Structure 1
Amino acid sequence: MASYRIIETNKKGQPRIKIIVEYGYDENGKRLRKIKIATLKKLDESNIINAIAQFEKSLGMEQQTFGNTKKITFSQFSEKFMSDYVAVELKVKSRNTYENYLNNGLLEFFGMMKMHKITSTQINLFFVEQKKIKAGSIYEKFAMLNTMFNRAIEWGYIEVNPCAKATKPKRKKTRRINYYTEEQIKQLLHVIPKLHIKHQLQIKIALYCGLRMAEIAGLRFESLDFQNNSIYVDKTLQYDKINKQFFLDTTKTGESRVVYAPQNLMSELKDYVEKKKIKLAKLGEKFNPIYTKNNKPIYLVFSKDNGFPNHPDRMSIQWRDIVKKYNLPYITFHGLRHTFASYMLSKNVNIKVIQEQLGHANIRETLDTYSHIDTSQKQKASDLFSNL
């Protein structure tokens, strides 16, 4: 199995790649690996493939073989899967999710089993046990297992995917979208002034603008346009559990957008940011932000007092505490985004406007997501014929 990643150019500015060739495990279960840095004339698919082929040929691997493939356990293969596929091909958020799946049942059950000996019966038994303990993400764990075994076939470790004959768990029907009605929104608005200013603003941005939690966490000072009462949404704050570091990533769709906000909210944000700038300027060496790739400090709108990020999930935890303390109807923090969309729809706002505010890839996604209409709206719709 050969993989590569692009690295920095050499002193002459020529592109380079790091080639990693793996060919199984030795008798002690240690991964067999060879590495080479290759300099290319041009960074394109043809040159990359040729460089990899030449390296494999130099190792006598024209016919790719794998040593001791039958010795590899599920636990050993999961490490390879995470490092050579997930870390290379998928975003950090997906890597964190896969890591959670492994640590919440998969490794405990399959860990010491040899990959080539895992059967469809054992997979079925695993999911029976998962259902008994009411574990979450059962359908998604099956999908991950299926991907892992397919990758193991591709890499030459096994010949058959046991998931093919296993009983695929049924995907749970999506719960009805949770959101506040107009009366419940008024109840929330009565509570908001009692909260810490940071929580007030985070809730209002979700409720009035429909931003996702990670988008709110990723807002920087320059994201706010006070002259036009708008917010530029182009980044999300993410946390890499493996490397234990925060970083800014793209939005869910990879696209940026401009979201318009009520003037009162923008005035509150302006006051909040101006006060925060003064506090941060006084910190001196205690200022502890995260940095861009160009080593420039990132000024997050919402952060700890020293400028360091709060975990995006912290917003959700604080929201649950607020709901409980003030006896509000329970919805998730993400439900505030749904509340924004539902309220806009109830007021007959153009669906295209709602789609653009939410940052959905297309209008079909908006229509499918918010196909629910509450009972009062359905009754009003049916009453229209009474006026004919």
Structure 2
Amino acid sequence: MASYEILEPTKKGEDRIKVTVEEGYDERGKRIRYTKTVRMKSLSDRAIKKAIKEYELEVATSNKNVSLDNITFEAFITDKWMELHVKKNLRIRTYQTYSNTVNNFIIPYFKNMKLNKIKTIHIEEFFAHEKAEGRKNFKGKYLILKSIFTKAVAWKMIHKDDDPMAAIKEPNDAKRNREKYYYTEEELINLFKILDKVKLKQKIAIKMAAVLGLRRSEILGIRHHCIDFKNNTILIDAQLHYDQEDKKFLLGPPKNGQARTVMVPSKFMDEIKEFAEEHRHLKERCGNAWEPALDENGEPIDLIYTNPYGYPNHLNSITNEWRKLLERNNFTYINFHGLRHSFASFMVAKNSNFKVIQEQLGHSDIRQTIQTYSHLTNEDKLKEVSKFDNIL
């Protein structure tokens, strides 16, 4: 884990920062810290991050005689596993999910136990404790613990024969009982009637989920250049994420890492065009007050979904407005992601090709699409076959 503080400039006016890198604990449980003063040509975020990474690498590759035999479980997670694996290799949303689970459930239970002292029985007791507390997501916690100890073995922090997860079977979480998770065709028709009475911005967001099958983060990640009005398509090549640590928005790759182009019905594209033009006019009226989010190169991100001053809308804003809309109109509740399922169920009911559904949804494997929605075709088949009941 690394941090920094800005120091007073040198006598020559050069900017400088003090970088601190923590490398776990020594044999007495005391944190091991290394510090270095770095002179900077600028104090931009990019320059500071570069300086920190360079010093982290310097510390990691140095021949300092540091004993990690007695590192605590918490120190290994926060200083090693999170920093060297999760933060660098996984997506921001995954990192945030792991961080919440680790900080709220896993670390509080194991507390100051030494990494190499945790046995299989301790893992079993942890899951028994979680069950007794009425908590869920056992599979998610299992996968996190599996990753932690897999890395501990790979980094030679523990011997592979001492991996406490080796004998733990992956739990099968009970599927959540969802009374309603998608709308029927009739319900979609009624929903679209309601949308004629709401603001265009909210109307477009909801229809992008229900008519195109887009995820919430994909909708918020669409930029103006992604929309092809001539060919009625939208390029989905990014998702909008919010980095809770750095307190900023950024674009990440689609869920499966592959960009896709979704087809848009002509009538709906006319509505999208109206919305996009309104957004352009809003930008022109704002002038210098327009403050968009910036990408890693400091360039403005030209999102179509922003607040009145060009800054991205938070992911929860769509969800909150959706819930309020349903409450105001006393309409059957499903979560916002259920609109994506509604798109798929409508397409299946219309006997659409599963390959088309797969490509619109952005599933990497058509088997995922079939496994998720094949029960809908089975229901239709049963209705047809049941007609024999009339003559039997």
TM range (shorter): 0.7 to 0.9
Mean CA deviation greater in 165-174 or 136-145:
165-174
Matched, 1:29 2:30: yes
Q: How far off its partner does 1:375 sit?
A: 7.9
In 1, Cα distance between equivalents of 2:23 and 2:31:
11
Number of the residue aligned with 1:5: none
Mean CA deviation greater in 248-257 or 175-184:
175-184
Q: How far off its partner does 1:275 sit?
A: 1.7
Q: How far off its partner does 1:84 sit?
A: 0.9
Number of the residue aligned with 2:87: 87
Number of the residue aligned with 2:102: 102
In structure 2, relative to structure 1, the CA distance for the partners of 1:107 and 1:168 (3 Å cut) is: same
Q: How far off its partner does 1:374 sit?
A: 7.0
In structure 2, relative to structure 1, the CA distance for the partners of 1:121 and 1:297 (3 Å cut) is: same
Number of the residue aligned with 1:116: 116
AA aligned to 1:100 is N
Number of the residue aligned with 2:49: none
Question: Does the CA-based 8 Å contact 1:25-1:32 persist in structure 2?
Answer: no
The one of 337, 340, 344 aligned to 2:343 = 340
Number of the residue aligned with 1:187: 190
AA aligned to 1:231 is I
In structure 2, relative to structure 1, the CA distance for the partners of 1:230 and 1:210 (3 Å cut) is: same
Q: Secondary structure at the match of 1:237?
A: strand
Please, which runs of 5 or more residues in structure 2 have no aligned partner?
1-20, 37-56
Q: CA RMSD in A?
A: 3.0
Q: How far off its partner does 1:387 sit?
A: 11
Number of the residue aligned with 2:258: 255
Question: Does the CA-based 8 Å contact 2:226-2:234 persist in structure 1?
Answer: yes
Number of the residue aligned with 1:145: 145
Structure 1 residue runs of 4 or more that deviate by more than 4 Å after TM superposition: 20-24, 32-35, 174-177, 383-388
In 2, Cα distance between equivalents of 1:301 and 1:175:
36
Which residues in structure 2 correspond to 1:1-388 (within 5 Å)? 25=26, 27-31=28-32, 59=63, 67-70=67-70, 72-79=71-78, 80-159=80-159, 160-166=162-168, 168-173=170-175, 178-373=181-376, 377-383=380-386
Mean CA deviation greater in 102-111 or 156-165:
156-165
Q: How far off its partner does 1:90 sit?
A: 1.5
Question: Does the CA-based 8 Å contact 1:121-1:166 persist in structure 2?
Answer: no
Number of the residue aligned with 1:49: none
Question: Does the CA-based 8 Å contact 1:146-1:161 persist in structure 2?
Answer: no
Q: Secondary structure at the match of 2:369?
A: helix
Task: Return the TM-score normalized by structure 2.
Answer: 0.79
Number of the residue aligned with 2:18: none
In 2, Cα distance between equivalents of 1:300 and 1:34:
40
Identity score, percent: 35
Question: Does the CA-based 8 Å contact 1:124-1:167 persist in structure 2?
Answer: no
AA aligned to 1:221 is H
In 1, Cα distance between equivalents of 2:32 and 2:91:
25
AA aligned to 1:150 is T
Number of the residue aligned with 1:44: none
In structure 2, relative to structure 1, the CA distance for the partners of 1:351 and 1:135 (3 Å cut) is: same
AA aligned to 2:166 is A
How many residues align? The count is: 345
Number of the residue aligned with 1:8: none
In 2, Cα distance between equivalents of 1:93 and 1:324:
29
1:165-210 CA-to-partner distances (Å, cap 9, x unmatched) read 4464333236568211112212212221232321111011111111
Mean CA deviation greater in 368-377 or 263-272:
368-377
Q: Secondary structure at the match of 2:375?
A: coil
1:115-153 CA-to-partner distances (Å, cap 9, x unmatched) read 222233332222222223332322111111121122122
Mean CA deviation greater in 25-34 or 226-235:
25-34
Q: Secondary structure at the match of 1:297?
A: coil
Task: Return the TM-score normalized by structure 1.
Answer: 0.80
AA aligned to 1:354 is I
Mean CA deviation greater in 77-86 or 127-136:
127-136
Q: Secondary structure at the match of 2:359?
A: helix
In structure 2, relative to structure 1, the CA distance for the partners of 1:378 and 1:178 (3 Å cut) is: farther
In 1, Cα distance between equivalents of 2:136 and 2:367:
28
Q: How far off its partner does 1:252 sit?
A: 1.1
Number of the residue aligned with 2:3: none
